[in-house]
Structure 1
Amino acid sequence: MSRLILVRHAMPALDARIASAQWQLSPEGESAARALRGLLPTDADVVSSPETKAAQTVSLATGSASIVTDARFAEVCRPGEPFDADVRARRLAWIERRPDERHTGWETSAEAAARFEDGVRAHATGERPLVIGTHGMVLTAWLLSRGIVDPAEAGAYWSNLAFPDVVTVDCG
């Protein structure tokens, strides 16, 4: 694999009544995901987080109805995280490696990055590019672990990721 293309999911339709892993893309998110189609290689292997919004994003972006999923590309495990006004600040603190009582029970940055790396190694087996549908926090944790994003810039990097976004990593 010469290139790894990380696709941060498009904007979902937020619904506090259901788990975020089941959120569908919003109509705007669907349009934005379709707009990625010309940006992604047509000869790539494609895999996604099993979370609905990520799988929908890469399906629409690649035009493929059949997407392989792998839980190693899922978002950071955050059991019990409330859906409240503090969500962005709480997640930013995690990205910036400033955990506190709000992050009790959460997967650490190192754990999330190691899981993601295991997934990359499992799927990056050929010469073709690999497209991975994923999420902003875990994507940033992995980039930090690889030295691609500077820890001092992690918060700004994560905050500036769009819905959707494409990050290309040269591996050759």
Structure 2
Amino acid sequence: MIYLVRHAQPAVRRKVAPDRWELTADGRSAAARLAGRLPWDPYLVASDEPKAIQTLHCAYPGRAVDTDPRFGEVRRVEPVDDGYAERRRQYVSGTPLPRWELASAVVARFAAAVTDHLARADGRPLVIGTHGMALTVWLAAALPTALAGGPTAPAGDPNALSGDPATLSVGPDAPAGGPAEFWAALALPDVLAVDLATATVVRQEG
């Protein structure tokens, strides 16, 4: 099983590149609370961005965390402004943006890293500290049916949409949605359990 951990809330510093941002105090507290949503004896790896590494360190105090830049966020030149959400929704939906890494390149590096670290995990759960857009475009490529309908309500209530789902929809009968809605519903932090064999993506609730 793969657990994708989206990092907790970072401190936004306009004069510092986003890939160097660190967690806020509240972000660290939220990351520590992830412990109840994650396996107890996993193989841990994070992108090389501080906010992803710190999120796993808070969730697993004292545990070693491997790093791999291939799990990093989409590489881009982007202003820190109010237009970020719409740009990112466009990007994860497949619209190339000037001076942004091609989604196909993100998928290739992320997929290669997953393969490598699954082998290193040697049967243990693989916990990956990563980022919202990167994990979304990889899932959209690796498990397209899992993102076809965007987020849904918990199992048993297939008709009610929720911004904080327990289960993410799978299959052609899922409600309208897609990668943009999936990305927008992700929390800071968040945990998604991914089963490649069954093509399912399930949010791990606390």
Unaligned 5+ segments in structure 1 are none
- The alpha carbon displacement at 1:171 in A equals 3.6
Question: Where do residues 147-162 of structure 1 align in structure 2 (5 Å cutoff)?
Answer: 147=144, 148-150=146-148, 152-162=177-187
Structure-2 residue corresponding to 1:140: 136
1:37 and 1:63 in contact (8 A); partners too? no
**85-94 vs 69-78, which deviates more?**
85-94
Match of 1:55 among 53, 56, 59: 53
Question: Where do residues 70-89 of structure 1 align in structure 2 (5 Å cutoff)?
Answer: 70-78=68-76, 80-89=77-86
Match of 1:121 among 115, 118, 125: 115
Structure with the higher fraction of residues in helix conformation:
1
Match of 1:37 among 31, 35, 38: 35
Mapped to 1, the partners of 2:180 and 2:33 lie a distance apart of: 26
- The alpha carbon displacement at 1:57 in A equals 0.3
Structure-1 residue corresponding to 2:4: 6
Higher RCO (C-alpha 8 Å, min separation 6) = 1
Mapped to 1, the partners of 2:25 and 2:61 lie a distance apart of: 17
Match of 2:99 among 102, 105, 113: 105
- The alpha carbon displacement at 1:65 in A equals 4.8
2:44 and 2:64 in contact (8 A); partners too? no
1:116 and 1:142 in contact (8 A); partners too? yes
SS of residue matched to 2:26: helix
Mapped to 2, the partners of 1:62 and 1:51 lie a distance apart of: 17
Q: How large is the Cα RMSD of the aligned pairs?
A: 1.3
Structure-2 residue corresponding to 1:130: 126
Mapped to 2, the partners of 1:170 and 1:56 lie a distance apart of: 25
Task: Determine whether 1:164 maps to 2:189.
Answer: yes
After superposition, what is the alpha-carbon deviation per residue over 1:1-51, rounded to whole angstroms, capped at 9, x for unaligned? xx0000000000111110111111011111110000121111110000010
Q: Which runs of 4+ in 1 moved over 3 A?
A: none
Mapped to 2, the partners of 1:91 and 1:171 lie a distance apart of: 25
User: TM-score normalized by structure 1?
Assistant: 0.92
**147-156 vs 82-91, which deviates more?**
147-156
SS of residue matched to 1:167: strand
Unaligned 5+ segments in structure 2 are 150-176, 198-206
SS of residue matched to 1:35: helix
SS of residue matched to 1:124: helix
SS of residue matched to 2:192: strand
After superposition, what is the alpha-carbon deviation per residue over 1:79-131, rounded to whole angstroms, capped at 9, x for unaligned? x21112211111111011123xxx21211222111110000001001110100
1:55 and 1:133 in contact (8 A); partners too? yes
Q: Considering only CA atoms, is the larger Rg found in Structure 1 or Structure 2?
A: 2
